[in-house]
Amino acid sequence: MNGRAHPLIAVIGHPNEGKSSVLSTLTEDDSVVVNDYPGETTRCHYFPVEINGTVVLELVDTPGFQNPQRILEWMRACGKTDDALLQDFLATFADQESFHHDCELMKPLVQGAALIYVVDCSRPLLPVDEAEMEILRLVNKPRMAVINFKDDDRDYLPAWTNAFRRHFNVIREFNAHHARFEERIALLETLKAIQQDWEPQINRAIDAFRQNWDYRRQQAVDAVCDYLTTALQLVIEQPLAKGADPEPVKGQVLERYRSTLVIRERQLFDALRGLYHHHSFNFELPAQSVLQEDLFSEVTWDVLGLTRKQLLMAAAGMGAGIGVALDAASLGLSTGLFAAAGALVGGTGAWFMGQELAKVRVHRLPLGGSRLVVGPSRNPQLPLVLLDRAVLFYREVMNHAHGNRSGALPDLASQSVVRQTDADHQKQLLKQARLLAEGSSMERDNAREQLALLIADLLVMD
Ligand X SMILES: Nc1nc2c(ncn2[C@@H]2O[C@H](COP(=O)(O)OP(=O)(O)O)[C@@H](O)[C@H]2O)c(=O)[nH]1
Indicate whether 18 belongs to the interface with ligand X (CB under 6 A).
yes
Nearer to Mg ion, 120 or 265 (CB): 120
Kindly tell me which residue out of 34, 109, 139, 418 binds ligand X, with binding defined by CB under 6 A.
34
Q: Which does 349 bind (CB under 5 to 8 A by kind): Mg ion, ligand X, none?
A: none
Give the integer Cα–Cα distance in Å for 14 and 129: 8
Indicate whether 41 belongs to the interface with Mg ion (CB under 5 A).
yes
Give the integer Cα–Cα distance in Å for 363 and 371: 5
Give the integer Cα–Cα distance in Å for 201 and 433: 45
Q: Does residue 7 have a cis bond before it (omega within 30 degrees)?
A: no
Give the integer Cα–Cα distance in Å for 4 and 7: 7
Question: Within 10 Å of residue 462's Cβ, how many Cβ atoms?
Answer: 13
Indicate whether 108 belongs to the interface with ligand X (CB under 6 A).
no
Nearer to ligand X, 34 or 136 (CB): 34
Nearer to ligand X, 174 or 209 (CB): 174
**Which residues lie below 8 Å from residue 106, measured CB to CB, with a gap of 6+?**
86, 89, 90, 139
As separate numbers, helices (DSSP H) first and strands (DSSP E) second, the chain gives 16, 9
| Beta bridge mates, 119 | 147
Indicate whether 27 belongs to the interface with ligand X (CB under 6 A).
no
Kindly tell me which residue out of 36, 182, 411, 422 binds ligand X, with binding defined by CB under 6 A.
36
Cα 291 vs. chain centroid, distance in angstroms? 14
Question: Segment contacting ligand X (CB under 6 A): 19-27, 158-166, 271-279, 417-425?
Answer: 19-27
Residue 74 exposed, middle or buried by CB count within 10 Å (0-12, 13-18, 19+): middle
Kindly tell me which residue out of 16, 67, 190, 446 binds ligand X, with binding defined by CB under 6 A.
16
Nearer to Mg ion, 36 or 247 (CB): 36
| Beta bridge mates, 236 | 374
Three-class SS of residue 447? helix
Nearer to ligand X, 22 or 384 (CB): 22
Rounded least distance, CB 19 to Mg ion, Å: 5
How big is the site for ligand X, counted in residues (CB under 6 A)? 20
Rounded least distance, CB 13 to Mg ion, Å: 9
Indicate whether 175 belongs to the interface with ligand X (CB under 6 A).
yes
Indicate whether 150 belongs to the interface with ligand X (CB under 6 A).
yes
Question: Within 10 Å of residue 415's Cβ, how many Cβ atoms?
Answer: 11
How big is the site for Mg ion, counted in residues (CB under 5 A)? 3
Nearer to ligand X, 148 or 428 (CB): 148
Indicate whether 420 belongs to the interface with ligand X (CB under 6 A).
no
Indicate whether 66 belongs to the interface with Mg ion (CB under 5 A).
no
Indicate whether 184 belongs to the interface with ligand X (CB under 6 A).
no
Question: Segment contacting ligand X (CB under 6 A): 84-92, 126-134, 172-180, 329-337?
Answer: 172-180
Kindly tell me which residue out of 7, 10, 12, 20 binds ligand X, with binding defined by CB under 6 A.
20
Element (H, E) at 73: helix 68-78
Q: Is residue 381 a contact partner of residue 306, using CB atoms and an 8 Å limit? A: yes
Residue with smallest beta-carbon separation from Mg ion: 20
Q: Is 65 left (phi over 0), alpha (psi -120 to 50) or beta?
A: beta
Residue with smallest beta-carbon separation from ligand X: 18
The binding site for ligand X (CB under 6 A) comprises 13, 15-21, 34-36, 38, 64, 148, 150, 175-177, 405-406
